[in-house]
Amino acid sequence: MTSKIDSIIEDFELLDNWDDRYRYLIELGRALPPFPEERRTEQAKVQGCASQVWLVSETKQGENGPRLALLGDSDAHIVRGLVAILLALYSDRPARDILATDPGAVFARIGLKDHLTPQRSNGLRSMVERIRGEARKALADTAA
């Protein structure tokens, strides 16, 4: 069975030019589940992003320790697509796996790393650090 992130990578590899890849990235963002209005809080906002980005997580206990279910949204189309990729990569995964997964390899493989503005790259790093921070917190809460 192919995971969501594997499917996204395969789809990107089929697209030859960057206009098509950006359109696909925007489509991924449009396919995100609706983000609840009541979750658009300052606490959910990701600092360090030029656009507005909201990320929330819910910790669930699983066989391999805590798992994070993630929801996210942005007010910018391309950034919303980046959120969709991060959710495909990290959501519903054990916290330990989240900390062990390098998103840079995925973004390099689909070529996004070289095609993001410095501002978007900084925002992407902020989103990843936020998710990794939530994973560390989930592990710490479980150990306590």
Give the Cβ contact number of residue 141 at 10 Å: 11
C-alpha radius of gyration, the chain, whole number: 15
Q: Known catalytic residue: 49? A: yes
Active-site entry in 5, 8, 44, 49: 49
Give residues with Cβ within 8 angstroms of 122, minimum separation 6: 48, 49, 50
C-alpha neighbours within 13 Å on the C-beta side of residue 5: 19
Instruction: Tell me which residues are annotated as active site.
Output: 49
